[in-house]
Amino acid sequence: MKTKPVLTQAEVSLILDAARLEATRNQWAVTIAIADDGGHLLALERLDGCAASAAYISAEKARTAALGRRESKSYEDIINGGRTAFLSVPLLAGMLEGGVPIIVDGQVVGSVGVSGVKSDQDAQIAKAGVAAVASV
């Protein structure tokens, strides 16, 4: 039987704090979602001034990155490249840039999804969150 690391609330707090710091440092009102490896939410924080829809979008970006085991941007690139059939993939509704998997020892243990600003800025915030546990 194989074993793998899992996110605890300690890591979730570190990720959320780092992502929030990156967002506030840039004065970006976003929602930050953290999911486990099955795409289930472990944390969600909507910063002041962020649109309510971002809560849904960030959670879906996180789910997409966790279940797909890759950045959600890769799906956006595939679709923009002409493979529109990916729009019908079940359970992956967040196929936009801003979802980033958390990989520990080669295993996806969760993900961070961010929504509220430009997609590349969402990804910047998500990656800042992921980086907080890269050395843990």
Residue 96 backbone phi and psi in degrees, to 5: -130, 155
CA distances from 27 to 22, 36, 47, 58 (A): 9, 27, 10, 18
Whether 3 is in a domain gets the answer no
Whether 56 is in a domain gets the answer yes
Using the predicted structure, report yes or no on whether residue 20 has a pLDDT greater than 70: yes
Whether 35 is in a domain gets the answer yes
CA distance 104 to 76: 24
Using the predicted structure, report yes or no on whether residue 46 has a pLDDT greater than 80: yes
Using the predicted structure, report yes or no on whether residue 35 has a pLDDT greater than 90: yes
Per the structure, how many domains does the chain have? 1
Tokens of 67: 């279940």
Q: Which residues pair with 107 in a beta bridge?
A: 104
Whether 96 is in a domain gets the answer yes
Tokens of 52: 């309510």
Whether 20 is in a domain gets the answer yes
Domain extent at residue 43: 9-134
What pLDDT shows up at residue 135?
54
> Residue 121 half-sphere exposure, CB side, CA atoms within 13 Å?
15
Interval 66-123: pLDDT, tens: 999 999 999 999 999 999 998 888 888 888 999 999 999 899 999 999 999 999 999 9
Whether 37 is in a domain gets the answer yes
User: Does the pTM exceed 0.85?
Assistant: yes
Tokens of 121: 């800025």
Interval 73-82: pLDDT, tens: 999 999 999 9
Query: What burial class does residue 97 get, using C-beta atoms within 10 Å of its C-beta: 0-12 exposed, 13-18 middle, 19+ buried?
Result: buried
- The three-state secondary structure class of 110 is strand
Whether 1 is in a domain gets the answer no
Supply the CATH number for residue 61's domain: 3.30.450.150
- Locus of tokens 């789910």: 63
- Confidence class for position 131, pLDDT limits 50, 70, 90: very high
